[in-house]
């Protein structure tokens, strides 16, 4: 039976509450005396994000859906925007520059009370409100996915927090498919077409950068069956990968030298052996897990291997196209994501072996494409033909069409299921190391 419009609206409210629970749990992981820490130099202190998630929802919905008055304009402004400095300039604010935790929490509760009182009648009457300039369902989806994206980027941030600054939680042991040893190799993808993006007249929610739908032709290429593993990356390191200038672009080399980078940021050296620094503990480096590295490091590995990261269109074709010229909803077929299909949707805090989910292979047999770590592409983040920014959030994508960000596809262990749709595009700066992102390589014929 088809869901009615009011079912969809009610589920949006439930999803908003679920997303709040998700981010509340993350802040609860942090010891109270660490909430004013800044685990990543390029980002705000943790306390900012407590206020930001509510300020975003309130600033987005307050006038457009409710015409309500602000009860704390200073905080609406203070917590409005995150940061992503591209010029090397780092924030210099001090903990004492921020309001007390009690004041921030009071603001958060105030926003939730104001929103929830007003959302119920609006969503009950959604058919009317969905016909206006700002459809309630679109704004709610923006609020939900914005929060879920922060649930992921907050995990990157808390990952960098020292273990004794956070509380450990039980991590579920991966179940399902018995991990196989990855026997990699490359898979031939014949030349053909692939459709990217979403149609504007469709009914699926997407961010501004996912429109407009368009089809491109991709010449034949070969792509790695799996993401590059820690074992493979170690071969690159042992071969002098970080010491040989010829593998690096001039900008990447200068960055690596000036920041004294000699290994992936998630690796540590202890007792003469490499270890994985996980969310809550350190373990001997798991050889079959995907390596997480910056775009700069991924590109250097690819150059050493005589290959390159895929373009966005190549990645999309390897994931979703079929040999008979059709296109799948997900790499494995039409079934929606669940934990048997990959390492995503908050099931795990850390990666799994790259060969752990053979039942999620694409039609061409490429594995582990959704979850277990984003995958860098060689495509700079640019608008699709027909792009138009959301009037209510003009800078969401357009501020990053600067040639200084690269598209990532797939998803990580901390990517929510709703963002595993084929059209979803993620992007980061090429020398930002803290993302749960690895890569696989292609060979062009």
**Window 224-253: residues binding Fe ion (CB under 5 A):** none
- Binding segment toward Fe ion, per CB under 5 A, in 20-28, 58-66, 76-84, 178-186: 76-84
Q: Which is nearer to Fe ion, 81 or 387 (CB)?
A: 81
- Tell me the closest approach of the beta carbon of residue 145 to Fe ion, in angstroms: 11
Q: Which is nearer to Fe ion, 154 or 189 (CB)?
A: 154
Taking each helix axis as running N to C, give the angle between helix 230-238 and helix 295-304, from 0 to 180 degrees, rounded to the nearest 10.
Answer: 70
- Tell me the closest approach of the beta carbon of residue 160 to Fe ion, in angstroms: 18
Q: Which is nearer to Fe ion, 82 or 202 (CB)?
A: 82
- Tell me the closest approach of the beta carbon of residue 147 to Fe ion, in angstroms: 8
- Binding segment toward Fe ion, per CB under 5 A, in 75-83, 125-133, 375-383, 397-405: 75-83
Please give the Cα distance from 304 to 299 (Å, whole number): 9
- Binding segment toward Fe ion, per CB under 5 A, in 59-67, 80-88, 267-275, 298-306: 80-88
CB contact at 8 A, 75 and 102: no
Provide the mask over 404-423, with x wherever binding to Fe ion is found by CB under 5 A and - wherever it is not: --------------------
Q: Which is nearer to Fe ion, 82 or 323 (CB)?
A: 82
> Is residue 395 near Fe ion by the rule CB under 5 A?
no
- Tell me the closest approach of the beta carbon of residue 49 to Fe ion, in angstroms: 8
- Tell me the closest approach of the beta carbon of residue 154 to Fe ion, in angstroms: 10
Closest CA to 298 of 323, 262, 264, 268: 264
Please give the Cα distance from 277 to 271 (Å, whole number): 14
- Tell me the closest approach of the beta carbon of residue 433 to Fe ion, in angstroms: 20
CB contact at 8 A, 154 and 37: no
Q: Which is nearer to Fe ion, 48 or 267 (CB)?
A: 48
**Window 336-375: residues binding Fe ion (CB under 5 A):** none
- Binding segment toward Fe ion, per CB under 5 A, in 15-23, 79-87, 92-100, 168-176: 79-87
Q: Is 419 helix (H, G, I), strand (E, B) or coil?
A: helix
Please give the Cα distance from 221 to 313 (Å, whole number): 11
Q: Which is nearer to Fe ion, 49 or 320 (CB)?
A: 49
Neighbour count for residue 149 (Cβ, 10 Å): 17
Mark out the alpha helices in 40-100 (DSSP H runs): 46-61, 73-78
Q: Which is nearer to Fe ion, 140 or 441 (CB)?
A: 140
- Binding segment toward Fe ion, per CB under 5 A, in 74-82, 155-163, 378-386, 426-434: 74-82
Report residue 437: phi and psi, to 5°. Answer: -140, 135
Q: In 234-243, which positions are buried (b, 16+ CB within 10 angstroms) versus exposed (e)? A: bebbeeebbe
Q: Which is nearer to Fe ion, 82 or 190 (CB)?
A: 82
CB contact at 8 A, 373 and 290: yes
CB contact at 8 A, 407 and 426: yes
Reduced to 3 DSSP states, what percent helix, strand and coil does the chain have, rounded to the nearest 5?
40, 15, 50
Q: Which is nearer to Fe ion, 149 or 313 (CB)?
A: 149
DSSP 8-state assignment for residue 425: -
CB contact at 8 A, 438 and 354: no
| 198 contact partners, CB below 8 Å, separation of at least 6 | 204, 206, 210, 211, 212, 213, 423
- Tell me the closest approach of the beta carbon of residue 169 to Fe ion, in angstroms: 24
With CB under 5 A, what is the number of residues at the site for Fe ion? 1
Please give the Cα distance from 36 to 32 (Å, whole number): 9
**Window 82-111: residues binding Fe ion (CB under 5 A):** 82
- Tell me the closest approach of the beta carbon of residue 337 to Fe ion, in angstroms: 24
Q: Which is nearer to Fe ion, 141 or 311 (CB)?
A: 141
DSSP 8-state assignment for residue 205: -
- Tell me the closest approach of the beta carbon of residue 413 to Fe ion, in angstroms: 21
Closest-approach residue to Fe ion (CB)? 82
- Binding segment toward Fe ion, per CB under 5 A, in 12-20, 58-66, 77-85, 171-179: 77-85
- Tell me the closest approach of the beta carbon of residue 184 to Fe ion, in angstroms: 37
Q: Which two tokens stand for residue 119?
A: 């959302």
Q: Write out the residues near Fe ion by the rule CB under 5 A.
A: 82
């Amino acid at each position: 039976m088809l869901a009615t419009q009011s079912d969809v609206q009610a589920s949006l409210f439930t999803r908003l509450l679920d997303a709040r629970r998700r981010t509340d749990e993350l802040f609860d992981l942090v010891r109270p005396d660490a909430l004013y820490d800044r685990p990543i130099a390029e980002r705000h202190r943790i306390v900012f994000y407590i206020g930001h998630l509510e300020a975003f929802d309130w600033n987005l919905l307050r006038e457009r859906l409710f015409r309500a008055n602000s009860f704390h304009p200073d905080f609406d402004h203070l917590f409005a925007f995150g940061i992503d400095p591209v010029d090397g300039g780092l924030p210099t604010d001090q903990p004492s520059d921020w309001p007390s935790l009690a004041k921030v929490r009071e603001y958060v509760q105030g926003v939730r009370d104001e929103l929830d009182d007003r959302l119920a009648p609006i969503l009950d009457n959604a058919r009317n409100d969905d016909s206006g300039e700002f459809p309630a369902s679109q704004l709610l989806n923006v609020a939900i996915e914005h929060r879920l994206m922060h649930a992921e980027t907050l995990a990157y941030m808390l990952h960098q927090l020292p273990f004794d600054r956070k509380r450990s939680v039980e991590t579920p042991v991966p179940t399902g498919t018995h991990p196989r040893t990855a026997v990699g190799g490359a898979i031939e993808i014949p030349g053909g077409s692939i459709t990217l993006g979403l149609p504007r007249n469709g009914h699926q929610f997407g961010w501004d950068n996912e429109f407009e739908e368009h089809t491109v032709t991709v010449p034949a290429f070969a792509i790695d069956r799996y993401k590059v593993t820690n074992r493979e990356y170690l071969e690159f390191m042992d071969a002098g990968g970080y010491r040989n200038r010829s593998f690096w672009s001039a900008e990447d080399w200068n960055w690596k030298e000036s920041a004294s980078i000699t290994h992936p940021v998630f690796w540590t050296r202890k007792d003469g052996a490499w270890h994985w620094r996980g969310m809550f503990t350190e373990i001997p480096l798991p050889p079959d897990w995907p390596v997480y590295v910056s775009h700069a490091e991924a590109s250097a590995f690819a150059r050493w291997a005589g290959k390159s990261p895929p373009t966005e269109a190549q990645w999309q074709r390897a994931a979703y196209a079929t040999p008979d010229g059709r296109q799948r909803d997900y790499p494995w077929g039409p079934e929606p994501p669940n934990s048997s299909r990959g390492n995503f949707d908050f099931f795990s805090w850390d990666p799994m072996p790259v060969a752990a989910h053979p039942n999620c292979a694409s039609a061409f047999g490429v594995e582990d494409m959704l979850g277990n770590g984003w995958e860098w592409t060689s495509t700079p983040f640019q608008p699709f033909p027909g792009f138009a920014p959301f009037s209510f959030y003009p800078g969401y994508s357009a501020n990053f069409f600067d040639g200084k960000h690269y598209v990532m596809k797939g998803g990580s262990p901390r990517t929510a299921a709703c963002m595993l749709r084929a059209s979803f595009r993620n992007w980061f700066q090429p020398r930002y190391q803290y993302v749960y992102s690895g890569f696989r390589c292609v060979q062009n014929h």
